[in-house]
Amino acid sequence: MPLIAWDDRFSVGVTAVDHEHRELIGLVNETHERLKRPGADITVSNFLGEIYTRISAHFALEEKLMRASRYEHFSEHKADHEQLLDDIRDIMDDYEDRQVFDEERFAQRLATWFSDHFRTHDARLHHKLG
Amino acid sequence: MLRYLVAQSGDEIFRRRALLKTIQRSGRLAFTLVEHAFDHAFGPRINPFYHLGALSFFFFWVVTASGIYLFIFFETSIEGAYRSVEYLTHEQWYLGSVARSLHRYASDAMVIVVLLHLAREFVLDRYRGVRWYAWITGVLLLWFLYASGIGGYWLVWDRLAQYIAVVTAEWFDWLPIFGEPMARNFLNNAAVSDRFFSLLSFLHIGIPLFLLLGMWIHILRISVAKTNPPRAIMIGTLLALTVLSALYPALSQGPADLDTVVSVVRPDWFYLALYPLIDVWSPGVAWGIAGGGTLLLMILPWLPRRREAAAAVVSLPNCNGCGRCFADCPYSAVIMLPRTDGLPYDSQASVNPDLCTACGICVGACPTATPFRRKTELIAGIDMPLLAIRTIREKTLTATTKLEGQDRVLVYGCQPGIDLTGLAQKGVGVLTLPCVAALTPSFIDFVITRHHADGVMLVGCAAGDCYHRLGVDWTEQRLAGQRDPYLRGRVPRERIATAWVAPSGAKRLTQALDAFRSRLRDMGPYQKGGSLPPPSASPSSNHGEVSDAAYRLG
């Protein structure tokens, strides 16, 4: 079962952003699958590091679009981005320090964040950009 | 034979390079001594030597404003010119005299500052390679500046003006461009026409306008060019000029009288040094000196030319066109172009190698340049071939593995700034980058929260004097959460130290490092979930100029 499922509500109406939303969810699910396989060719650190980087880059693009359209809720939206990046880094540090990776907690955190973020921030952005 | 020639020219280039290095080194030493004194007096942020280009702009505006006032009262006729300037100087001493003196002294100051700017960029080696464009346009601007000034001396129509008129006419008459000798205009009082004076006033407005256009062209290739010095410098300079104008007003040297020959004048040495030479030697020699000097200055960037390190490279699979590299490049070397690889993004970064100085600031801005990624996949969206992000990660690990104790510090320094080789010791690792802003903030996160060191120290050029102009500002803004990429909010700021020091500040740097290490010892090892500082808390003092986090959108 995928960690996060794509939902059409996740679309913000900008091709590049939607593409990255799909890619991100795909990456999360796919890498997670690879991780669970016996004799996995990647480590938890790699998996988290890659997701962290891709999300950073995705936020960078979204923030550029928001700045360009003088999006009025920019600072809240940006703060939510920074918050998730901080959280992912904490989860990464937890793993490094204790070698425990709580998949459930990670999946939960990502899924909650994604759905909350899409429902509030990205939906508002959709109105603005779409 | 050919081989011999090649060997000889190689030798020649080597010799020239050595000579150039010697000149630059001694020049830099001279500047460092003076700048050090100014650093002490004003602090590095408002050291005027770090804002010479911007100061030239400022003086231009002072001259413009005072010039507009003078123009209201100035009479463009032979009879009226001297009289109206005298009226401004003596009758209207409260405003007219101050305006005249400001006009005069700010022009003088502009000439001095421009010449210092030229000398400083030369000794810092910022005139060759990709910077040839600013250098050549700057050299040409000297002529416009000079011509603007000569026109100003002339319009006053005192005895110095008369001297200048006669000598300039002789100078130009040497060139076979005028059908009738220009000097004929200045044979006697009757020969000068009012119309000639109107033409002069017109030129005195037109040439400075071209000067301004040229100044704009001069900075075209520079992104986020600073054309205003910090406010404290503007206020201080204007105040000093005004006081000078009130105490020592600019005066005329007696009315011009073409029926007599001017014998004694007091020309300004830095502006009119050429004029006595025209008189004593010959106009031809003066043309030789001025023209030859200009030509020499213009070919200087290729004597020998400077080869920049390999330019930044974009990796399209890692680039989504977020434009952060474009926003941060100080040289306008990164531009955003329409996507070429079929991915559904609007744009992609593209590097113009002719403009890139390999400072790496673009990499420091890239969201994919994080050390948390898998080693084999660690290719940033934009990367430096000679010091790839992967290499920086490896060097970071090498520099930190041998550190011991509770006060382990990794120093990231910049190559053009202070020499850091002596800094490495037990407990201190040093890694030199082309610019301190070439480091993405996530490296600081990586080193501290992954326990590679107890603290990170960033060492860069003196604040306000970043070799790559924007590196120090960008770094401070990234740490303070004012510019992307932000240093993550939960990274403990007390474990980061910044030191912006001039090459003369070695002692201060050692003291800062020792103090930082002693603070780290008091803190003990880093533990996660400690303090949660507000994202705006800057590790160093917050400066007004740093708050300009304006973005260029591509």
How many other CB atoms are there within 10 angstroms of residue B219's CB atom?
17
Are residues B321 and A16, on separate chains, in Cβ contact within 8 Å?
A: yes
Q: How far apart are CA B116 and CA B108, in angstroms?
A: 12
* Closest residue on chain B to A88 (Cα): B488
Across the interface, whether the CB atoms of B449 and A86 are under 8 A apart is answered: no
Asked if the Cβ–Cβ distance from B320 to A60 is below 8 Å, we say yes
**Higher-scoring residue by pLDDT: A104, B301:** B301
Distance from CA of B158 to the nearest CA of A (A): 57
Assess if residue A98 is contained within a domain. yes
Instruction: Return the higher-pLDDT residue of B377 and B537.
Output: B377
B27/B48 same-domain check: no
Judgement on whether residues B28 and B53 belong to the same structural domain of the protein: no
Q: Is the distance from CB of B279 to CB of B314 less than 8 angstroms?
A: no
Read off the tokens for B544: 């007004």
Q: State whether A90 and B528 contact (CB < 8 Å).
A: yes
Exposure of A97 in the CB half-sphere (CA atoms within 13 A):
14
Cβ-Cβ pairs closer than 8 A, A with B, add up to 88
Contacts with B367 from chain A: Cβ below 8 Å: 53, 56-57, 59-60
Q: Let me know if residue B554 belongs to a domain.
A: no
Q: Assess if residue B552 is contained within a domain.
A: no
The answer for residues whose C-beta is within 8 angstroms of residue A77's C-beta and 6 or more apart is: A62, A63, A66, A71, A121, A124, A125
Give the nearest chain B residue to A50 (CA atoms). Answer: B373
The residues of B whose Cβ lies within 8 A of any Cβ of A are 318, 320-324, 343-346, 367-368, 370, 372-374, 377, 381, 445, 449-450, 481, 484-486, 488-490, 528-529, 535, 551, 553
Of A15, A46, A86, the CB nearest to B488: A86
Contact (CB, 8 A) for B362 and B552: no
Q: Which amino acid is at B230?
A: P
Number of domains in chain A: 1
Assess if residue B39 is contained within a domain.
Answer: no
Q: Which residues of A touch B529 (CB under 8 A)?
A: 90
Is the domain of B172 the same as that of B193? yes
* The token pair that represents B35 in the structure block: 């700048």
Asked if the structure places residue B389 within a domain, the reply is: yes
Residues of A in contact with B345 (CB under 8 A): 16, 19, 61
Provide ipTM, 2 decimals: 0.91
Flag whether A79 is in a domain: yes
Residues B296 and B317 grouped into a single domain: no
pLDDT at position B552 is 60
- Looking at residues B50-63, what average pLDDT do you find? 97
Strand pairing class (B428-433; B409-414): parallel
- Chain A residues touching B322 at Cβ < 8 A: 57, 60-61, 63-64
Condensed to tens digits (0 to 9), the pLDDT of residues B464-511 reads 889 999 999 999 999 999 999 999 999 999 999 999 998 888 999 999
**Mutant choice from B318, B319, B320, B451 vs A, greatest count of A C-beta within 10 A:** B320
Residue A75 lies in a domain: yes
Would residue A3 count as lying in a domain? no
| pTM of the predicted model as reported, rounded to 2 decimal places | 0.86
Task: Take residue B246 and report the two structure tokens written for it.
Answer: 């009130």
- Residues B174 and B283 sit within 8 Å (Cβ to Cβ): yes
Give the range of the structural domain holding residue A119, as residue numbers without chain letter: 8-129
Tell me, yes or no, whether A2 lies in a domain.
no
| CB contact (8 A) between residue B528 and residue A97 | yes
Side-chain-side CA neighbours of B91 within 13 Å: the count stands at: 7
Q: Are B336 and B431 in the same domain?
A: yes
- Measure the CA–CA gap between B327 and A64, rounded to whole angstroms: 10
Looking at B270, B302, B334, the residue that finishes a domain is: B302
Q: Do B13 and B62 belong together in one domain?
A: no
Provide the pLDDT confidence category of residue B530 given band limits of 50, 70 and 90. very low
Q: Indicate whether B466 belongs to any domain.
A: yes
* Residues B130, B200 within the same domain: yes
Q: Residue A29's domain is classified under what CATH number?
A: 1.20.120.50
∠ Cα B222 B228 B231 (to 5°): 145
Does residue B230 sit within a domain? yes
Q: Are residues B287 and B372 in the same domain?
A: no
User: Would A1 be classed as within a structural domain?
Assistant: no
d(CA B361, CA B455): 22
| Rounded average pLDDT over B87-100 | 92
* Subunit contact B322:A57, Cβ cutoff 8 A: yes
Q: Are residues B138 and B287 in the same domain?
A: yes
User: How many structural domains does chain B have?
Assistant: 3
Residues 6+ apart with CB under 8 A from A75: none
Burial class of residue B5 (count of CB atoms within 10 Å of its CB; 0-12, 13-18, 19+): exposed
| Rounded Cα gap, residues B448 and B475, in angstroms | 17
Identify the residue whose tokens are 């955190």.
A109
Q: Is residue B308 part of a domain?
A: no
Tens of pLDDT, residues B171-221: 888 888 777 777 777 777 777 778 888 888 999 999 999 999 999 999 998
Q: Containing domain of residue B470, as a range?
A: 313-547
pLDDT in tens, B124-178: 999 998 899 999 999 999 999 999 999 999 999 999 998 888 888 888 888 887 7
Closest B-chain CA to A97? B450
Query: Has residue B553 been placed in a domain?
Result: no
State whether B407 and B438 are in the same domain. yes
Give the contacts of B199 (CB within 8 A, at least 6 positions apart). Answer: none
Residue B215 class from Cβ within 10 Å (0-12 exposed, 13-18 middle, 19+ buried)?
buried
Q: Provide the shortest C-alpha distance from residue B97 to chain A (in Å).
A: 49
